[in-house]
Amino acid sequence: MTNRLYYTEPYRTEFDATVVAVGVIDGRTHVTLDQTAFYPTSGGQPFDTGTLGGAAISEVIDREDGTIAHVTSGSHKIGEVVQGAIDWARRFDHMQQHTGQHVLSAAFDRLFGVRTESFHMGTLSATIDLAREVSAKQVATAEDEANRIVWEDRPVAIRFATAEEAAKLPLRKESIRTGPLRLIDVENFDLSACGGTHVARTGGIGVIAVGGSEKFRGGARVEFLCGGRALNRFRLWRDSLAATQRFLSVAPEEMAAAIERMQADSKAQQRTLRGFQEKLAIHEAHALLEKAWGQAVIIAAIEGWDAQGLKAIAVAAVAETPNLVVALFTATTPALVVIARGTAATADAGAMLKSLVAQFGGKGGGRPDLAQGGGLNGTMAQFQDALQLLLPQ
């Protein structure tokens, strides 16, 4: 068994210990000490990092036999006395999140009788999974209650009890552990069996902010951020809001409505533009027919039109000249193409397009009277040559 200093001294960052075992597992050195302040991954809380004898600790593992393995880049001998130092910023962050979790879970439990099934601490935020669904109003009420407890700065005591004693105590969740229990007591608010590290008073949590909640496995998953993490999230949102505000020039609370208005305006403009484009397409078709007067085939590149515009021009042209075949390309590389034929023409627009795609790449398809495609890599001269071969002579 490794003596866990963090059980009774969660604020301790440096310690001396004696190496009791050294092993190599999967090429990594695992060092076991007689005592440690390093917290190993367990109970939803990630391990501490830091140094042991000056060498970095990359992972801390809670072993089945009650010992703790320190994965290190250094080399140590059994019996050697080493000095350990934990990364306090990381540990304190974990203490804020973990204590905040106790308070938030207790708030849901006390206010609405909703139990917390599990807790997970990620690198940016933490989540609790609740046994049943909760409304947005319930989440907000629990958040308020949790922060009331934070701001009252209540003591968070560490107590030890036998299993028998614990059985008589009003624990929020029955413990599945056997033997003596370590209890975390948030004064007059929450009593839980827990092996994690916690702040000494609730004020150390700073603030508990819910990031969001969603339905999850018949219950709810609530994301929350405590202390420094809440501040970091606030900064991230503040900066992105400020950046958005430079474009929209409205207050944050009016931003959603402003974007909705812009989207509606944009759709209306697109409709208007489409109407003009259709009218202009008819004029463009006339110009094309005049230039190619009497020809049965028009193969041309037209600038300034998108696929829909090309289609409108081609359709307008063949509508006026039933024996005409029209192939219109954009003047871009790769090119878009629309092929249309009049009701009296016999060419197969779909087959012509297929052949173009086979020769010049891209994709597309269509019917014998109308086909369109894009992504064609070739010059107008090449397209013209290819199409002339495909047309009925």
- Footprint of Zn ion on residues 236-295 (CB under 5 A)? none
Part in contact with Zn ion (CB under 5 A); list of ranges 52-60, 192-200, 202-210, 344-352: 192-200
Nearest of 109, 150, 144 to residue 130 by alpha carbon: 109
Range list of H helices, the chain: 5-8, 88-112, 136-151, 163-168, 228-248, 255-291, 307-320, 349-360, 380-390
Q: How far is the CB of 197 from Zn ion (least distance, A)?
A: 8
Mind giving me the DSSP string for 13-82? -EEEEEEEEEEEETTEEEEEESEE-PPPSBTTBPPP-EEETTEEEEEEEE-TTS-EEEEESS---TT-EE
Nearer to Zn ion, 196 or 373 (CB): 196
Q: How far is the CB of 198 from Zn ion (least distance, A)?
A: 6
Give residue number: closest CB to Zn ion.
194
Question: Exactly one of 5, 194, 230, 376 binds Zn ion (CB under 5 A); which one?
Answer: 194
- Footprint of Zn ion on residues 286-305 (CB under 5 A)? none
Q: Answer yes or no whether residue 183 interacts with Zn ion by CB under 5 A.
A: no
CB-based contacts of 23, cutoff 8 Å, min separation 6: 29, 30, 32, 69
Q: How far is the CB of 45 from Zn ion (least distance, A)?
A: 7
Q: How far is the CB of 22 from Zn ion (least distance, A)?
A: 31
Nearer to Zn ion, 186 or 347 (CB): 186
Q: How far is the CB of 210 from Zn ion (least distance, A)?
A: 19
The first and second tokens of residue 216, run together, are 């999850």
- Footprint of Zn ion on residues 63-102 (CB under 5 A)? 98
Q: Answer yes or no whether residue 196 interacts with Zn ion by CB under 5 A.
A: yes
The first and second tokens of residue 310, run together, are 């090309």
Q: How far is the CB of 4 from Zn ion (least distance, A)?
A: 14
Q: How far is the CB of 99 from Zn ion (least distance, A)?
A: 7
Nearer to Zn ion, 100 or 342 (CB): 100
Q: Answer yes or no whether residue 104 interacts with Zn ion by CB under 5 A.
A: no
CA-based angle 10:15:17, to the nearest 5? 125
CA-based angle 29:31:37, to the nearest 5? 130
CB 130 within 8 A of CB 240: no
Part in contact with Zn ion (CB under 5 A); list of ranges 175-183, 186-194, 316-324, 326-334: 186-194
Q: What is the 8-class DSSP label of residue 253?
A: G
Q: Euclidean distance between the first and final Cα of the chain, in Å? A: 93
Catalog residues that contact Zn ion under the rule CB under 5 A: 98, 194, 196
